[in-house]
Structure 1
């Protein structure tokens, strides 16, 4: 896996809704109706992350889940982070908020 350059990251961000590039990571806050839905979202993230063998940093703030993606071995964002971001966006579409 190769760390993406800034041009490639910016191009990827054009394909991702609500994601930001901060401190060599991709970051997004997912908003849900309540805490229960935030936890349900995370339980759906786990098998997807496991299938890619790539795990996000997450933090729950009641109805908000902050997801941070980076490839630690490469010291920044790779195609794997972009792929996982797209999959998480698809999962979030299953929730009404």
Structure 2
């Protein structure tokens, strides 16, 4: 799977796309989707981030990733050039969901 040009999705299409994906939420102010992940240690969180980075490199679409506290990770996906969430962001979070399942 590689990055493809994609325009911003409408709010209702984003809601449909993330429905059933536990923990993902849509922020209509910042036009992004995000999820928090909790791990037992900083090392476990860092390993998870490395896996997400590999997925992002494979797809060619990169999320914002934040490690905070002892072992929490926040992933935020949006496409600023398109002004919001695109199919590329949805593909990325679907791949992250496969990783954690």
Question: How many aligned positions are there?
Answer: 93
Q: Considering only aligned residues, what root-mean-square deviation do their CA atoms show, in Å?
A: 1.0
Q: Is 1:89 matched with 2:97?
A: yes
Write the distance in 2 (CA, Å) between the matches of 1:92 and 1:42. Answer: 12
Partner of residue 17 from structure 1, selected from 19, 22, 37: 22
Is residue 60 from structure 1 mapped to residue 71 from structure 2 by the alignment?
A: no
2:3 counterpart residue number: none
CA apart distance, 1:40: 0.3
Q: Which runs of 5+ in 1 are unaligned?
A: none
Give the structure 2 partner of residue 73 of structure 1: 81
Q: What residue ranges of structure 2 are gaps of 5+ in the alignment?
A: 1-5
TM-score, normalized by length of structure 1?
0.90
